[in-house]
Amino acid sequence: MLIDDLKVVLQVAEFKSIKQAAESLDMSVAVASAAVKRVEKAYGVELFVRSTRKLRLSSFGEKYIPQIENALVILNQVGQSAKNEQNIIDGDLRLAVPSDLGRNILLPWIDLFASKHPQLNIRLHITDSTIDFYRDPVDMALRYGAPGDSSMYGFKICDVPRILCASPYYVETYGMPVHLKDLDSHNSLLYQLHDTVHDIWEFSCRGITSKVKMRSNRTANDADIVRRWCVAGYGIAMKSALDMSDDLLSGNLVKLMPEYTPKPTELWLICPSKQLITPMVRLLRESITDKCLTIINSLKKSGYL
């Protein structure tokens, strides 16, 4: 029996399903089932009552699962303390990142981080959807917006301005909007999260905040697609300055309506547990923070912010 076997048992107890536990741990059902059997054999008791469709804790499971959980916490703390003293960066980096930022900005940063720490295993989860740390196979998530769950542990990476922009082709074809009322005659490229289409855009100008409902013929639940549509000239987009930085600095996109400031956002690194805030997490946070601030400063020097 291995410590990893105990982790499998705890996940099975959490999900009440070997299949779901295996998916959350990125392993096969057969491997997860074998781990449970090894633990039960080592203890000489059945921790779960199984049927063809259901699985529940046995009386022994109800008694011993909490003790296993406590024991694992202590073992993890001992192991992490030893690594901290030796400055060892290893193990699995299971990170969720937004689609556009993840593919086009973060990926080379993460590759560089991994090359400096060859004992790391990268498990990258690219999604714009809300992360469920108890079901999704991730230990931390990089997300736009401050965490809404007070039980989470978060590190603010930086403030992120949003930018209203379009391609030079679009501006040449359809004109340059100057005032908010001009937006009525332009096609917007919209982002959708679950059932919510973000078609209300908020701006501030000289201390006055205004909201505009945008019309659109293109909506996507992937922020990367919205950026690509914008570069291709299909409409105007309001997105994170980080997401659009490369295209702005290269001239693929131009900033629109500079007198009007879109509502800004924030970038956060979020963990569900204090035990997951390891030296690896702290180093990753510092690395991402430095690189994000470098981009923001480049956009400021170029007059985009």
Of the candidate ranges 23-27, 86-90, 128-132, 280-284, the one whose mean pLDDT is the lowest:
86-90
Query: What percentage of the chain exceeds 90 in pLDDT?
Result: 53
β-partners of residue 85 are none
| pLDDT of 253 strictly over 90 | yes
Domains annotated on the chain, with CATH: 3-85 (1.10.10.10), 87-160+266-301 (3.40.190.10), 162-263 (3.40.190.290)
- Among all chains, which residue has been given the structure tokens 């096969």? 28
Q: Are 104 and 243 in contact (CB under 8 A)?
A: yes
pLDDT averaged over every residue in the chain:
88
- Among all chains, which residue has been given the structure tokens 């900033």? 255
| pLDDT of 87 strictly over 60 | no
What is the structure's pLDDT at 47? 86
| CB count in 10 Å sphere of residue 72 | 16
Q: What is the pTM of this model?
A: 0.72
| pLDDT of 34 strictly over 50 | yes
* 8-state DSSP, 269: E
Q: Are 282 and 290 in contact (CB under 8 A)?
A: no
Q: Are 153 and 140 in contact (CB under 8 A)?
A: no
What is the structure's pLDDT at 175? 95
What is the structure's pLDDT at 290? 95
Confidence of residue 193 (pLDDT cuts 50, 70, 90): confident
**Token pair in block for residue 84:** 């901290």
What is the structure's pLDDT at 52? 67
> Please, which residues have CB within 8 angstroms of residue 39's CB and are 6 or more apart in sequence?
1, 5, 6, 8, 9, 47
| pLDDT of 85 strictly over 50 | no
pLDDT in tens, 227-237: 999 999 999 99
Query: Which one, of 198, 188, 237, 187, lies nearest residue 221 by Cα?
Result: 198
| pLDDT of 242 strictly over 90 | yes
Query: Which one, of 274, 270, 238, lies nearest residue 256 by Cα?
Result: 238
Alpha carbons 281 and 284: distance in angstroms, whole number: 5
Residue 20: half-sphere exposure toward Cβ, Cα within 13 Å: 13
